Structure 1
Amino acid sequence: MTSLLPVARAIDRINELIGKSVSWLILVAVLVSAANAIIRKTLNTSSNAWLELQWYLFGAAFLLAAAYTLKSNEHIRIDIVYGALSRRVQHWIDLIGHVLFLMPFTCLMLWLLIPYVARSYRIQEVSTNAGGLIIWPAKALLLAGFVLLFFQGISEIIKKIAIMRGAMEDPTPFHTAHEAAELEAAALLREMAGEDVPDTLTGNAPPSGDKKTDGSPK
């Protein structure tokens, strides 16, 4: 674990940087969509290229941020049973899921996507729509997304083993949807009251009475 944890941290940092950066593509997609709609309504002209650009931007944000979503433990899950189990059992479920499902699936997708993208690039594939964009960059985004997801899966496996062995703290403690809503509401109330808002994802938010104002406990 001593030698593997730095690898996991490096993967986390890279995927966090990429995930936060590509989130801005959503704003760009909204602006492109708005500009395209205004031009179409006012000048009665448009192009399929603008529509496909919106798809490219949204696809890039979704695919390239998938690994960061996994790192942040924000992927969708049904926690009817999961949330009722002990945190150690949850770690085992996550570890088994990563090893038996996530990693084989990402490996399969990489095996299929490499020749798929290579062929598209080789023939310089272009959209069949009039005025459309080239297609191979969009297909390359699929490959890039699964490459990032593959490495994040490795990071998650390393961290799960380290957590269960006591080599590191749990960076993303689990909360049910109800608990998460309560934490967000508490953080909002504290913010409205002008208090410092702790990281609600840790679940370690101190009560308002424990807040220090002069460097000493109340």
Structure 2
Amino acid sequence: MRTLLALAKGIDALSEGVGRVIAWLALLMALLSAGNALMRYGFSYSSNAYLEAQWYMFSLIFLLGGAYALKRNAHVRIDLIYGRLTPRARAWIDLLGTVLFLIPMALGVLYLAWPWAMSSLAVREASPDVGGLPRWPIKLALLVGFALLALQALSELIKRLAFLLGLHLLEEGEKGVVE
């Protein structure tokens, strides 16, 4: 179990690192958006590449930020009942939800998106708009984002299992379970 907890710690570090990059990407996207609006309305200049770059950055924030949000317990959840449960009951709910829903969903998206992304890469798919950006990189980002989410789900599964076996205390931020 120590090896699995070390693996979970490594996955957590990866998610944290990607999360820090995403924070900077959000700032860059806001600056690009403001600059694009200034150029369009102030100088009557517009670029499909700038508009698509904003769209790509927005997509990357959500695609790559999912694992970070899961790690930080920043995802949407209805805490009406969950918050009143014991840490052990919450760990069971998290474990079952991860095994029955999260991991199968992430792996299912990877399975279904793989041929789509690989086809896009093979033909070097580009935007149909004049001056647009290549489309294949953002399609590959879909694979990366769901792979990161599946990895973080594995980390959460390991930590919940270790907690239920009495081998690991969950820290604040790990779905709010502290004992």
Equivalent-residue separation in structure 2 for 1:120 and 1:174 (angstroms): 37
CA shift digits 1:48-78 (9 cap, x unpaired): 1111100111111221121011011111001
Establish whether residue 28 from structure 1 lines up as the match of residue 28 from structure 2. yes
Contact 1:23–1:65 (Cα < 8 Å) also in 2: no
| Corresponding letter in the other structure for 1:121 | L
Shift of 1:130: 2.5
Q: Quick one: percent identity of the two aligned structures?
A: 44
Gaps of 5+ in 1: 176-200, 204-218
Equivalent-residue separation in structure 2 for 1:202 and 1:156 (angstroms): 12
**Highest CA radius of gyration, 1 or 2?**
1
| Number of residue pairs aligned between Structure 1 and Structure 2 | 179
Contact 1:56–1:138 (Cα < 8 Å) also in 2: yes
Question: What does residue 188 of structure 1 align with?
Answer: none
Question: What does residue 162 of structure 2 align with?
Answer: 162
Establish whether residue 101 from structure 1 lines up as the match of residue 101 from structure 2. yes
Establish whether residue 171 from structure 1 lines up as the match of residue 171 from structure 2. yes
Contact 1:82–1:90 (Cα < 8 Å) also in 2: yes
Q: Cα RMSD over matched residues? A: 1.9
Contact 2:71–2:174 (Cα < 8 Å) also in 1: no
Q: Which runs of 4+ in 1 moved over 4 A?
A: none
Q: TM-score, normalization: structure 2? A: 0.94
- Once the two structures are superposed, the pairs formed by residues 129-208 of structure 1 within 5 Å of their partners are 129-172=129-172
Q: TM-score, normalization: structure 1? A: 0.77
Shift of 1:202: 8.6
Contact 2:36–2:46 (Cα < 8 Å) also in 1: yes
| Alpha carbons of structure 1 residues 25 and 134: separation in structure 2 relative to 1, 3 Å | same
Equivalent-residue separation in structure 1 for 2:31 and 2:24 (angstroms): 11
